[in-house]
Amino acid sequence: MIYINDNLKFIKEDIENILSMQGRNKDSVNIIAVTKTIDIESIQKAIELGVRDIGENRVQELMEKMNVFKKNANYHMIGHLQTNKVKYIIDKVSLVHSLDRISLAKEMDKQAKQKDIIVDALIQVNVAEEESKFGLSVKEVIPFIEEVLNFQNINIKGLMTIAPFTNDEKLLRDIFRKMYNLKQNINDKNYENVDLEYLSMGMTNDYRIAIEEGSNMVRIGTGIFGKRNY
C-alpha cells in the first residue's frame, strides 16, 4: 500500500506545478479521491495521508463507506442518483455532483426541507452529448438553473462534467473550455443566490488539461489507488 503515498505525492506535486505555471494559488484545486470498488484499508491509508474528500458513484457503496469513516471524511456523490435513494444520503453528503433533472431537484428539495438543511449541488453537464452519459446539454443548463432557483433548499454551487475517455487533447480542451465559459456566463447573470464556485472536472486521464482550462475540483480514482478490480 506504499504506492498510495507515492501516488498522492505525485498528483499533488503535479497539480501544484500546473497551478504555479498558471499563477494560481497552489491549493486552489480540491482533490476528491474516488473510492469506488476500493477496499477499506486502502481508503483508511489515504485518509491517514491527508485525504479528506472521497467520492463514490453508488449510493449503496457510499453508505457503506460513510458507516466506516463517519466524520473522518467529506462525502461526494459523483454518480447518477436515483430519486428514491436521495433520502439515504441527502444529510450526509457534502456535495452532490450529479444534479441532472427536475424530478431529482424536486426530491432533493423535499428531503432537505424535511431535514431542515440546505443541500449543495453541482449540475452535471454532458458537453459532448454522449448517449452513454447522464447530464444536461450545454444549452439546457441555464433554463434548468432558472427552474431550480425555485427550490429553496438546494444551493447550486457549480458544474460538473465527465469528459469522453479519449486521448484527443484538443477535444478535451474544447469541452473543458466550454464548461468554464458556461460557468462564467451563469455568474454574469447575477441570479440571486447563485454564485457558481466549483467546476468539477478532470479525472486520472485528463485532470491536467481540465486544470489548465480552469477546473478547481478533480475526481481521481486510478491515479491514487491504482487500477480498479471490478
Residue (11 or 66) nearer to ligand PLP, CB: 11
Residue (93 or 162) nearer to ligand PLP, CB: 162
Residues that bind ligand PLP (CB under 6 A): 34, 36, 57, 78-79, 162, 203-205, 219-223
Number of residues written out for the chain: 230
Which residue sits closest to ligand PLP, CB atoms considered?
A: 221
Least CB distance to ligand PLP at residue 226 (A): 9
Least CB distance to ligand PLP at residue 135 (A): 10
Residue (57 or 111) nearer to ligand PLP, CB: 57
Residue (111 or 126) nearer to ligand PLP, CB: 126
Least CB distance to ligand PLP at residue 213 (A): 17
Least CB distance to ligand PLP at residue 18 (A): 16
